[in-house]
């Protein structure tokens, strides 16, 4: 018997663990991994190092490219401009394919390898596709990646160079999802959607475990993230929850969710406003341009539970902080990642973050991936 099952994030219905089940039979909500036997004795007390529960089985081969363990640096100059005396960035763009997605891909593709999967279908705005392409290359699994035809050409090139088949789809991000779904059904393949798969989110939990180690003298009071589907957001929350349940931390940082004004379904849901996918506008923050995120309710619940905010930032603010991050700190991030700094600005102005509060921003993607002139 497996040490995990899959549990509906909405109605808590339980299903045996496999890779083809992505939604609950009863209410069509996404699923999370549920650990029947969490992680051994070391999680029981606060004394020893925490051991992160994983969906793979003991002794199985892990598909890894050395993801994670990204550095944390202080951002004194950008901090000063923002009015924060204690601002830090966690350099997630130093992951093997240039974005935090490698945390999720490593786990998702390790589970696929363990189960003997030979071919998968995935859809992505670019970064998750490039990441899945790298990890499937390493695992010897064939990958079909569906991406918007308008995705940055460097990301598409990256998908192809790893040997994955890139299927470019005209239209918005959602059109790529639709095409991927049609393709996997028609060809009877496994749909390894990083947005739906419970295993991807299990991989991003490592972010929280690293923050726990890197801030041994005291966790950040606030973590501010750019959010599209919420894979890092949800994974970080799950990781902190596990650390708390294991007695390793007393409290969890306040998690804030930042979206672009152009595409803000989570922000509107949080703020009680009506949002329709047809309202989506083009944005420089392509990584968070997700008009209809399947895990929306889960993200909103986490924002509320952690006492955070969900707010939207303008295109000009995203580009302004993108420029400042490079010119002031030497950090060349994707515009998507810079949205979080525009978010910190708004959170400080609105009084949600104090100038002395320890604040951490994951800098999620590398600048050279998206060199579009805006």
| Residues at the site binding ligand PLP, with contacts judged by CB under 6 A | 99, 125, 127-128, 226-233, 287-288, 290, 334, 336-337, 364-365
- The Cβ-side half-sphere exposure at 40, using a 13 Å CA radius, reads 10
Contact 194, 177 (CB under 8 A): no
- Work out what residue 245 binds among ligand PLP, Zn ion, none; the CB cut-off runs from 5 to 8 Å by kind: none
Minimal distance, residue 186 CB to ligand PLP, in Å: 26
- Work out what residue 288 binds among ligand PLP, Zn ion, none; the CB cut-off runs from 5 to 8 Å by kind: ligand PLP
313 Cβ contact list (under 8 Å, min separation 6)? 258, 259, 260, 261, 339, 342, 343, 345, 346
Residue 110 vs 364, nearer CB to ligand PLP: 364
Identify the residue whose tokens are 């930042």. Answer: 258
Q: How far is CA 32 from CA 9, 23, 122, 277, in A?
A: 6, 10, 18, 25
Residue 297 vs 328, nearer CB to Zn ion: 297
Minimal distance, residue 41 CB to Zn ion, in Å: 32
- Work out what residue 10 binds among Zn ion, ligand PLP, none; the CB cut-off runs from 5 to 8 Å by kind: Zn ion
Q: How far is CA 145 from CA 138, 164, 166, 184, 223, in A?
A: 16, 7, 5, 11, 31
Minimal distance, residue 177 CB to ligand PLP, in Å: 12
Residue 190 vs 310, nearer CB to ligand PLP: 310
Residue 117 vs 285, nearer CB to ligand PLP: 285
Residue 114 vs 261, nearer CB to ligand PLP: 261
315 Cβ contact list (under 8 Å, min separation 6)? 260, 261, 262, 283, 284, 374
The whole-angstrom separation of Cα 335 and Cα 342 is 11
Minimal distance, residue 48 CB to ligand PLP, in Å: 31
- Work out what residue 24 binds among Zn ion, ligand PLP, none; the CB cut-off runs from 5 to 8 Å by kind: Zn ion
Residue 6 vs 147, nearer CB to Zn ion: 6
Minimal distance, residue 1 CB to ligand PLP, in Å: 31
Binding stretches for Zn ion (CB under 5 A): 8, 10-11, 13, 24, 26-27, 29
Q: Which segments of the chain are extended strands (E)?
A: 4-8, 14-16, 31-35, 72-74, 87-90, 119-123, 142-148, 165-169, 190-191, 222-226, 254-260, 310-313, 359-362
- Work out what residue 230 binds among Zn ion, ligand PLP, none; the CB cut-off runs from 5 to 8 Å by kind: ligand PLP
Tokens of 352: 């949600």
Minimal distance, residue 112 CB to ligand PLP, in Å: 19
Minimal distance, residue 197 CB to Zn ion, in Å: 16
- Work out what residue 30 binds among ligand PLP, Zn ion, none; the CB cut-off runs from 5 to 8 Å by kind: none
Element (H, E) at 292: none
């Amino acid at each position: 018997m497996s040490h995990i099952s899959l549990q509906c994030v909405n109605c808590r219905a339980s299903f045996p663990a496999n890779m083809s089940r992505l939604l609950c039979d009863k209410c069509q909500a996404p699923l999370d991994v549920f650990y029947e036997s969490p992680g051994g004795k070391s999680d029981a007390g606060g004394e020893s190092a925490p051991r992160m529960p994983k969906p793979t089985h003991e002794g199985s081969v892990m598909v890894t490219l050395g993801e994670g363990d990204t550095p944390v640096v202080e951002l004194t100059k950008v901090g000063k401009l923002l009015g924060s005396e204690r601002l830090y960035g966690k350099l997630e763009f130093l992951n093997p394919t240039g974005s935090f997605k490698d945390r999720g891909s490593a786990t998702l593709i390790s589970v696929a390898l363990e189960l003997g999967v030979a071919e998968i279908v995935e859809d992505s705005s670019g970064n998750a596709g490039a990441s899945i392409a790298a990890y499937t290359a390493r695992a010897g699994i064939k990958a079909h990646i569906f991406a918007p035809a308008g995705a940055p050409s460097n990301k598409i090139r990256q998908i192809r160079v790893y040997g994955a088949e890139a299927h470019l789809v005209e239209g918005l991000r959602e059109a790529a999802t639709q095409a991927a779904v049609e393709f996997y059904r028609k060809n009877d393949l496994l749909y390894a959607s990083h947005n739906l798969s419970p295993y991807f989110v299990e991989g991003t939990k490592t972010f929280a475990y690293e923050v726990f180690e890197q801030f041994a003298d005291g966790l950040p009071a606030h973590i501010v993230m750019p959010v599209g589907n919420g894979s890092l957001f949800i994974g970080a929350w799950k990781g902190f929850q596990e650390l708390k349940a294991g007695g390793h931390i007393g409290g969890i940082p306040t998690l804030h969710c930042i979206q672009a004004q152009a595409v803000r379904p989570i922000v509107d849901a949080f703020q009680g406003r009506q949002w329709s996918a047809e309202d989506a506008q083009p944005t420089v923050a392509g990584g968070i341009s997700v008009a209809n995120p399947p895990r929306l309710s889960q993200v909103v619940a986490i924002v509320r539970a952690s006492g955070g905010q969900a707010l939207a930032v303008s295109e000009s603010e995203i580009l302004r902080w993108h420029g400042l991050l490079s010119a002031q700190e030497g950090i060349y991030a994707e515009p998507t990642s810079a949205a979080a700094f525009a978010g910190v600005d708004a959170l400080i102005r609105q009084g949600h973050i104090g100038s002395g509060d320890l604040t951490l921003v994951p800098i999620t993607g590398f600048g050279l991936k998206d060199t579009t002139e805006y």
